[in-house]
Amino acid sequence: MAKPIKEKTIKQPTLFLALVPIITMILLLSLGYILFELPPEPLIIASTVVAGIIAIKLGYSYDDIMGSIAQKIAKTMPAILILITVGFMIGAWMVGGTIPMMIYYGLKIINPQFLLITAFVVTSVVSLCTGTSWGSAGTIGVAFMGVGAGLDANLAAVAGAVVAGAYFGDKLSPLSDTTNLAALSTGVNLYEHIGHLLYTTIPSFIVAAIVYVITGLNTHGAGVAIPEKVVTIMDTLSTVFHWNLLLLLPILIVLYGSIRKKPTIPVMLISSLVAMANGLIFQGFSLHDVISAVINGFDIAMIKVQGFDAAVVIPDIPRLLNRGGMNSMMGTLLICFCAITFAGTISLTKSLELIVNKILKHVRSTGSLILASIATGITMIGVTSNGQVSILMPGEMLREAYIRRGLHPKNLGRTIEDSASIIEPILPWTAAGAYMAGTLGVATLSYLPWAMLCWTGIIFAVIWGFTGFGIAKLTPEQQREMLKEYDEIDTVK
């Protein structure tokens, strides 16, 4: 006689067991990543192992864990494909001359009398076009610091303007890995996410711009020569690239797709193909060079112009131009997969749901929910010092709470960016804070007050949360559809 199949008993986690994986990850990242400079990926995997052991202790099987992870990966695959396409597009825009032309004309408009506002706006444009805050600050930003030194200007103010501009562009750029991760973690369309960021980012930009203009008019005069480094960058760019208005077409295609809410990946691919054609037709690159740029990234050494020697250009040129390509996204994708694995494991045991319910137990309004989200984001970036983890984990933890309150998850994506992405460079112990201070030659706490865009976003986020301005609501149909993935449709009336 066959033995009856024993039914699997699933236990509910206690608050202590639910917190163990989260605390483990925070401790490992705090000690291993910050103190010992270990890569974050194996630390996250170690935390996943702890979460898996707890899941098994609660009665789940190995197959259950793998199934939950697979479901998470499947849901985020469209966003992962967008990340890969972004790398493809950056390489194409580089080889086609689109990004170099934006950098060239950005530098060309420098007016020493308006140094702060110019540094802010130009760094914003370059960062928006390239999707890299670090690259923008380390190249264009350094050039502006040279201008500031020549003017005997307040270098802390110049550095603050550079950092603010770099993170304005990075925050709103469809080429930015952090912007894509924020959209990914909250399950929001990339362009919809960027559009919603404008509610806090544009007011912050305006406030910062007013301060920079007033400060500049009161403290700076005209007539100081532009540093040789800036002139060298411009001369090099105009030597190896050929400018014309058609180089702006790839940007216009992306803007059109964003405004008309067209599918993201096809729009980016069309923009990339046009940029690749520009590289072949106007820049004179071979098909091999163009393909190499979109796969492995643009390399200044591929430029074959008579009288030009890539080996003797100043270091700022390759630092500014040598980027892009699908392979450039592999590091971001790796940490993304590790974080998804961790999230898939702890979501199986409903640990996140338990923790979030405790956190949000006293949350009664949209404003207090925004405050709780800001506190979560700042805590994550302050403790882990990892911008990617600080975006992915709050998105995973709080998304359901927003949906259940009838709030569109793009509100969460915006709040995560306001409290984690652009807070990172004004914290001295983070990688971004240390990089900016070392690159620009100004202590983090010295430029912090001047990097106004990096902290005023939180102020506007709180104001909008309590007033309701710029807060997107879900229709009942949207809410029911989004809650399907949490398998609790019956709770929605």
pLDDT at 71: 85
CA dist., res. 163 & res. 171, Å (int): 12
Do 184 and 396 meet the contact criterion of CB atoms below 8 Å apart? no
Do 60 and 10 meet the contact criterion of CB atoms below 8 Å apart? yes
pLDDT at 467: 94
The reported pTM is 0.71
**What's the per-residue H, E or C state across the chain?**
CCCCCCCCCCCCCCHHHHHHHHHHHHHHHHHHHHHCCCCHHHHHHHHHHHHHHHHHHCCCCHHHHHHHHHHHHHHHHHHHHHHHHHHHHHHHHHHHCHHHHHHHHHHHCCCHHHHHHHHHHHHHHHHHHHCCHHHHHHHHHHHHHHHHHHHCCCHHHHHHHHHHHHHHHHHHCCCCHHHHHHHHHHCCCHHHHHHHHHHHHHHHHHHHHHHHHHHHHHHCCCCCCCCHHHHHHHHHHHHHCCCCHHHHHHHHHHHHHHHCCCCHHHHHHHHHHHHHHHHHHCCCCCHHHHHHHHHHCCCHHHCCCCCCCHHHCCCHHHHHHCCCCHHHHHHHHHHHHHHHHHHHHHHHCCHHHHHHHHHCCCCCCHHHHHHHHHHHHHHHHHHHCCHHHHHHHHHHHHHHHHHHCCECHHHHHHHHHHHHHCCHHHCCCCHHHHHHHHHHCCCHHHHHHHCCHHHHHHHHHHHHHHHCCCCCECCHHHHHHHHHHHCCHHHCC
For 206, left (φ over 0), alpha (ψ -120 to 50), or beta?
A: alpha
In angstroms, what CA-CA distances link 297 with 212, 269, 488? 35, 16, 44
pLDDT at 194: 92
Select from 256, 274, 335, 352 the least CA-distant residue to 98: 274
Tens of pLDDT along 453-464? Answer: 999 999 999 999
- Looking at residues 162-183, what average pLDDT do you find? 88
Instruction: Identify which has the larger pLDDT, 45 or 333.
Output: 45
pLDDT at 384: 67
The identity of residue 247, as a single letter, is L
> 168 pLDDT exceeds 70?
yes
Tell me which of 4-8, 21-25, 273-277 is least confident.
4-8
pLDDT at 8: 67
pLDDT at 469: 94
Tell me which of 134-148, 256-270, 285-299 is least confident.
134-148
The identity of residue 200, as a single letter, is T
- Looking at residues 37-63, what average pLDDT do you find? 90
pLDDT at 289: 93
> 51 pLDDT exceeds 60?
yes
pLDDT at 50: 95
Looking up tokens 């009288």 gives 307
